[in-house]
Structure 1
């Protein structure tokens, strides 16, 4: 018997799918870049994951309809800032449509000018290596040129639509 050549249509609603995905606890990141004209770009994402140790590769995804898609698609570099537990307000700000997300935000310029947020638990400075269009998102694969982490920093976590901090078992 031959296996099917394509997936069967889903038996669940988009709302049910989103609720099921929410059961996977993730860290919270802010992905940052600079546009060609020097404008600061940043957005909250929890779609971050490691891909490879050699070469060092990570991935994240962005909705095709995102206003920042052109900047991330065309730029040579971006940074992935893993947020610390005390950065919930920053995560919410960069997930919203606030007019000036960057007001009062401390950062240093990383590779290609991508902002490295002060206080982040870890940062990854990435060369924009490749992109894959899948469904309503684009998957970005970044080759990590530099990374740092704050020893002992607790990460900000997201699960079921709420923010959490870590509690070792």
Structure 2
């Protein structure tokens, strides 16, 4: 799900006594952390509607209500995400795998035939998702080969029915049995 990959070794520390981590092994280890799957959307005055599949979504703060996602510095949509007034994080359901795959690809019209309603800043809110967080840009940070974008949640909707789409070990997954 992460867009792009590291092109040079990642240092485990700043001094020369730390080992150099192999980027592919590092990516593989990160893939062992199960995540939900989202489609982050925005509306840009020149680029139009944009959207990417991301599993780099996280809550940051309850007061004020802040969330974040990250996008690769090489992503064609980065400039538009940074310039748009806000964005929506759409948390996908298990049955929205095809939509996730569609927005993970580049170079095609991702929006052809996709229903949505406009959020407060024009960003698309996708129907039938587990949750949608409508955000105003709050901050952005450099994060290696990605840009970390923080948004202040100004509106949200959620539905606890159904099951989330999950990503683990480089593959889509579904919830297993409950551990009691």
TM band (smaller chain): over 0.9
The answer as to 2:119 corresponding to 1:91 is: no
List structure 1 segments (4+ residues) > 6 angstroms apart after TM superposition.
Answer: none
Once the two structures are TM-superposed, the CA of residue 6 in structure 1 deviates from its matched residue by 3.2
Which residue of structure 2 lines up, in the alignment, with residue 47 of structure 1? 56
- Paired residues in the alignment total 165
Gaps of 5+ in 2: 1-12
Which of 64, 79, 95 is the equivalent residue of 2:73?
Answer: 64
Q: State the Cα distance separating 1:122 from its structure 2 match.
A: 0.4
TM-score using structure 1 length: 0.93
User: Which residue does 1:6 correspond to in 2?
Assistant: 14
For structure 1, which runs of at least 5 residues remain unmatched after alignment? none
The residue aligned with 1:125 is 134
User: Equivalents in 1 of 2:31, 2:92: separation in Å?
Assistant: 18
TM-score with structure 2 setting the length: 0.87
Tell me which residue corresponds to 1:25: 34
| Aligned-residue offset at 1:142 | 0.4
Q: For each residue in 1:9-44, what CA deviation from the matched residue of structure 2 results, as whole angstroms up to 9, or x when unmatched?
A: 543211000100000000000000011136110000
Query: Could you tell me how far 1:168 is from its partner in structure 2?
Result: 3.1
Correspondence for 2:109 among 81, 86, 100: 100
> RMSD value over aligned CA atoms?
1.5
Query: What is the deviation of 1:111?
Result: 1.5
* Higher deviation after alignment, 38-47 or 27-36: 38-47
